[in-house]
Structure 1
């Protein structure tokens, strides 16, 4: 019998922590956190992903932070953290106007102490919503939503890489859920939420996140139509999150094509909550298929220039939400309940190390002009000899009357780069209106951009990107790159 259609009935992510004895867990060493790989290959997911200009993340809860074995594994393998529950509405504002930041702050502190970025999750969701919100008169919902978004996004401003601003807004047939927000504001609540989040944290990448949208189907078509409209209206939507709660052997064949069509709108895409559940007990053939699934997912991301990364929803099988939500299913992660790497881990790491990567594009600027359209023939700055250990090229990707958008690719030479600086001089009075994935200093027509705190390290032969929108006529000046 075919397993049931994926349904996200996730409430509290409690996991199955009792499956592994503390004594056994304490005996696990860092040697179990990796598998044998070729001498020139990266030995961790994060290093391999970063070499391809991506990230590889995980989800953690506050309870996970007391498990040293789990957190050591997470810190060794991942460079992005998504809080499992700690930033959701029922935790942060369980009673109106009273905010609790403690749980979320603990996740952020852990991430910062291990040089990991944070994916904020989530600001507006019909689930894990306090009763007081659902009980509001319709004429009070918008103010409550905007206040919640503003307060939380302001609190974490500068500490999160991105926000899942609106989570799971679609039904399976491609229609919007008629939740408390839709009933009060109609479909316009999504644009309002994105604009409110952008006003509170202009530098965070803003996403709509959903499940069962990974392949081309009625649900993803509905979201695609909405994304087209939001982009055309200049709403600050930066990306689409594909939750990717799969059943083993059922990864959609249209995953890559679906990612690409969203990317073609100028949006980033990301795999945000990956797991691949198996009907228990799992046998060796199912575990091998799970490995093929993980490899397929990673390769799809590498093939789409705007796929910025992959995040698994948890670390190991013993701490997964799957058994408690889908009875009879389990073993969805890359590590088993004894923290031993599975075929899925080997496949994901090998795909990152050996897969062909299309260089990632920068984030879409939140202030993208509503009238922006792709240039007929994007112009690229001339190649500049390597100064120090890096080189850079600049490409105009969009232009409109009075402005344009550009992407700058920074590449390491034969040695790894730890920190980079890119400089150029505008030829005709152009000025940057917004910049992402870097920090800028301007002196007259001279521009200096230095790496952000999360993208300064580039493996030998690897690359990273930053981007900007600017006022004036489109230009691609010669750029130089230096590294300490």
Structure 2
């Protein structure tokens, strides 16, 4: 899995539908029923990855708390952080992630105990006859420290080469393939209630690497080694989700194992556009639907909260925009497709009747609603013969609806009779031209479109 960074994505901010978003409240992207609630209703979790530095970003943490119910520490439980020198442990960063999760009623996936990467030099420098003792001591100490606090551990991370053979890292070179069983048994002894996983990338579809993982876990199960699941990292390129992903997941669960999507993102060649964002939305829905179709797929975790804290731009130059949230932590089309896949979304489109002969405006709106949240897009057309210089569209929200964020307009107040006013760049509307804006809102059951539109005091429909 990647080293999580906090670097901004290399691309300019892209917002829903390509529009620049302006937050009405500080809870950017956190409105409506969270993905966690929709996922829990389907019997799975929906998680994210956080680093300790993320915890100081109030916008990021607001989205994380509202949307996700599982947290994976990005770097804070890896060996180079937890035991940088032999026998000297540092659990402070990991404890901070656990504390955040507990305070937000989230569970934690421990990540990870054994990995060839982010491994301190002292481990690689050990004589081969000392590696097993060092590995067992590390696993025992860390798993004991977090005993009872974690849902699961990625016990061994990324053990395979692309051809399905095991990596010849410090652990394999010292102990052979038996190091995996030893690591799992040691973790189980230290924290017997935690779910124990092997985790890797490029094993989402059926291929040589996933075949290697399948052979290994089959052997471990037949030997009575304590293993509960396989993690599919799912770092995808847009449009390339494997068609065999669901069948691959099913063959692992047929062994009596759980499967989890552990590090989902879907990178785009920058700059992203409406077409690539639409394909990304399709990809996210495909992954979620695959999980929902496999009875022992226990959940999905995205790697990072939004594009601003994604590892992709720093690792794959020219690529990015890989998550459901943009650089301002506003939801992208992939968020809506994910909510829809989880069964929480309905879409309705309403077009106002033709305006009366003396009217100078027409309004079209579209509502996308789920459980207790919705987004709405509104288009105003100047049907008059004179240009409009500065506009204010008044309308009435349905009862129980409260605006939480808006784009291409400022909206006040947040409920009841409201007014949407132009921002600095879209106040002029020529005859026959249109201008669009939108907003996100919560609701208490009534997802009806607004009514009684008046533009600068003139009724539109």
The answer to whether the superposition gives a TM-score over 0.5 is yes
**Contact 2:75/2:81 (8 A) holds in 1:** yes
The alpha carbon displacement at 1:354 in A equals 5.8
Q: Does 1:289 align with 2:279?
A: yes
Partner deviation per Cα, 1:114-165 (whole Å, 9 max, x = no partner): 0000000000000000000000000000000000000000000001000000
The alpha carbon displacement at 1:34 in A equals 4.1
Name the counterpart of 1:237.
Answer: 227
Name the counterpart of 2:427.
Answer: none
> Alpha carbon RMSD of aligned pairs, Å?
1.7
The alpha carbon displacement at 1:29 in A equals 3.4
**Contact 1:26/1:69 (8 A) holds in 2:** no
- For 1:15 and 1:83, locate their aligned partners in 2 and report how far apart those are by CA, in whole Å: 17
The alpha carbon displacement at 1:55 in A equals 0.3
Q: Which has the larger radius of gyration?
A: 2
- For 1:314 and 1:239, locate their aligned partners in 2 and report how far apart those are by CA, in whole Å: 22
Name the counterpart of 1:15.
Answer: 7
Q: Does 1:33 align with 2:30?
A: yes
The alpha carbon displacement at 1:44 in A equals 1.5
SS of the residue corresponding to residue 160 of structure 1 reads coil
Partner deviation per Cα, 1:298-355 (whole Å, 9 max, x = no partner): 0000000100000000001111100000011000000100111011000111101169
SS of the residue corresponding to residue 157 of structure 1 reads coil
- For 1:28 and 1:319, locate their aligned partners in 2 and report how far apart those are by CA, in whole Å: 21
**Contact 2:9/2:320 (8 A) holds in 1:** no
Q: Does 1:98 align with 2:88?
A: yes
- Of residues 104, 119, 136 in structure 2, which corresponds to 1:146? 136
Name the counterpart of 2:244.
Answer: 254
Change (3 A) 1:323 1:340: same
**Contact 2:3/2:74 (8 A) holds in 1:** no
**Contact 2:28/2:63 (8 A) holds in 1:** no
**Contact 2:281/2:334 (8 A) holds in 1:** yes
Superposed, 1:36-55 pairs within 5 Å as 43-55=33-45
If the length of structure 1 is used for normalisation, what is the TM-score?
0.68
Change (3 A) 1:25 1:201: farther
Superposed, 1:61-72 pairs within 5 Å as 61-72=51-62
The alpha carbon displacement at 1:26 in A equals 8.2
The alpha carbon displacement at 1:32 in A equals 3.2
Q: Does 1:128 align with 2:128?
A: no
Change (3 A) 1:173 1:153: same
- For 2:313 and 2:50, locate their aligned partners in 1 and report how far apart those are by CA, in whole Å: 17
Change (3 A) 1:232 1:31: same
Partner deviation per Cα, 1:168-202 (whole Å, 9 max, x = no partner): 00000000000000000000000000000000000
Name the counterpart of 1:195.
Answer: 185
Q: Does 1:347 align with 2:344?
A: no
Name the counterpart of 1:228.
Answer: 218
- For 2:95 and 2:211, locate their aligned partners in 1 and report how far apart those are by CA, in whole Å: 36
Name the counterpart of 1:298.
Answer: 288
- For 2:25 and 2:334, locate their aligned partners in 1 and report how far apart those are by CA, in whole Å: 19
The alpha carbon displacement at 1:17 in A equals 7.8
Q: Does 1:307 align with 2:297?
A: yes
Name the counterpart of 2:382.
Answer: none
- For 2:343 and 2:252, locate their aligned partners in 1 and report how far apart those are by CA, in whole Å: 25
- For 1:183 and 1:97, locate their aligned partners in 2 and report how far apart those are by CA, in whole Å: 22
SS of the residue corresponding to residue 231 of structure 2 reads strand
- For 1:252 and 1:29, locate their aligned partners in 2 and report how far apart those are by CA, in whole Å: 38
Higher RCO (C-alpha 8 Å, min separation 6): 2
Change (3 A) 1:50 1:186: same
SS of the residue corresponding to residue 214 of structure 1 reads coil
- For 1:260 and 1:354, locate their aligned partners in 2 and report how far apart those are by CA, in whole Å: 25
**Contact 2:38/2:344 (8 A) holds in 1:** no
If the length of structure 2 is used for normalisation, what is the TM-score?
0.71
Superposed, 1:328-367 pairs within 5 Å as 328-353=318-343
